[in-house]
């Protein structure tokens, strides 16, 4: 199924670029992109099975391919089918498995940033790092009670979008739980947050 799909895409886009795959999504790196046909994971460059697909048109070529490649071409799931390729030790935990990159938007900033939540151990570290990144802003930080940035006089509330799509205040749940459920961050201008009636500080804003 996917081999046909792959062919179709390549025919419609002569450059070999797969636009669907370059579309920004909020998924974790490595998560399969669900395409409209509900089919295979499609990388942004021609992978294995698609390359094989091209070759299968030529009878001579087909004979030359090893068994594993022919199997990969037949299977509906994409290139990872071939056992032992690439030749890298399986359990050597290199690679992005342990990264969790989320977008960070700051109201008023012209572009977004991305941070890897996995490298922090606590809210304090995350907020400090965000302050570094967006150094002209001050993030309202319940821990050390920094309220107003002297230079800009602007204050920001750290919020995040969770798995259910709701916007939450950063700091209410244990750190690990936050890392797991956070999809993106937004530093919201406090002036916008006025009227949200936040009376008590979040439970986990101090070291977790």
Partner 1 sequence: MNYFPDEVLEHVFDFITSHKDRNSVSLVCKSWYKIERYSRQRVFIGNCYSISPERLIARFPGLKSLTLKGKPHFADFNLVPHDWGGFVYPWIEALAKSRIGLEELRLKRMVVSDESLELLSKSFVNFKSLVLVSCEGFTTDGLAAIAANCRFLRELDLQENEVDDHRGHWLSCFPESCTSLISLNFACLRGEVNLGALERLVSRSPNLKSLRLNRAVPLDTLQKLLMRAPQLVDLGIGSYVHDPFSEAYNKLKIAIQRCKSIRSLSGFLEVAPHCMSAIYPICGNLTFLNLSYAPGLHGNKLMKLIQHCRKLQRLWILDCIGDKGLGVVALTCKELQELRVFPSDPFEAGNAAVTEEGLVLVSAGCPKLNSLLYFCQQMTNAALITVAKNCPNFIRFRLCILDPIKPDPVTNQPLDEGFGAIVQSCKGLKRLSLSGLLTDQVFLYIGMYAEQLEMLSIAFAADSDKGMLYVLNGCKKLRKLEIRDCPFGDAALLEDVGKYETMRSLWMSSCEVTLGGCKAVAEKMPSLNVEIIDESEQMEFNLDDKQKVDKMYLYRTLVGHRKDAPEYVWIL
Residues in contact with partner 1 by the rule CB under 8 A: 21, 29-30, 43-48, 51-52, 55, 63-69, 79-80, 83-96, 98-99, 116, 118-122, 124-125, 128-129, 132
d(CA 36, CA 138): 42
108 or 174: CB nearest partner 1: 174
39 or 190: CB nearest partner 1: 39
Residue with tokens 């390359």: 51
User: In this structure, are residues 27 and 100 in contact, taking their beta carbons and an 8 Å threshold?
Assistant: no
Measured from the CB of residue 20, what is the shortest distance to partner 1 in angstroms? 13
**How many CA within 13 A on the CB side of residue 159?**
20
Measured from the CB of residue 148, what is the shortest distance to partner 1 in angstroms? 21
132 or 164: CB nearest partner 1: 132
Residue 15 gets which letter from DSSP? T
158 or 188: CB nearest partner 1: 158
**Which tokens is 143 given?**
């821990």
Beta strand ranges found along the chain (DSSP E): 101-106, 113-116, 138-139, 155-161, 167-169, 184-189
Measured from the CB of residue 85, what is the shortest distance to partner 1 in angstroms? 6
Measured from the CB of residue 32, what is the shortest distance to partner 1 in angstroms? 11
């Amino acid at each position: 199924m996917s081999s046909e799909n792959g062919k179709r895409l390549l025919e419609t886009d002569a450059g070999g670029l797969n636009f669907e795959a370059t579309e920004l999504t909020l998924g974790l790196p490595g998560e399969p992109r669900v395409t409209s046909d509900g089919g295979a994971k499609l990388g942004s460059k021609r992978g294995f099975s698609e390359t094989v697909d091209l070759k299968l048109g030529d009878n001579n070529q087909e004979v030359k391919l090893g068994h594993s490649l022919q199997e990969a071409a037949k299977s509906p799931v994409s290139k990872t089918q071939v056992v032992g390729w690439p030749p890298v030790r399986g359990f050597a935990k290199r690679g992005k498995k342990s990264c969790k990159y989320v977008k960070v938007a700051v109201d008023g900033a012209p572009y977004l940033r991305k941070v890897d939540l996995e490298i922090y151990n606590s809210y304090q570290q995350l907020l400090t790092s965000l302050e570094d990144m967006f150094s002209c802003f001050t993030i309202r930080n319940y821990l050390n009670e920094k309220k107003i940035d002297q230079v800009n006089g602007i204050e920001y509330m750290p919020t995040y979008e969770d798995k259910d799509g709701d916007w939450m205040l950063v700091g209410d749940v244990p750190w690990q739980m936050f890392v797991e459920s956070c999809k993106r961050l937004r530093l919201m201008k406090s002036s916008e947050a006025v009227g949200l009636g936040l009376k008590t500080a979040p439970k986990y804003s101090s070291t977790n």
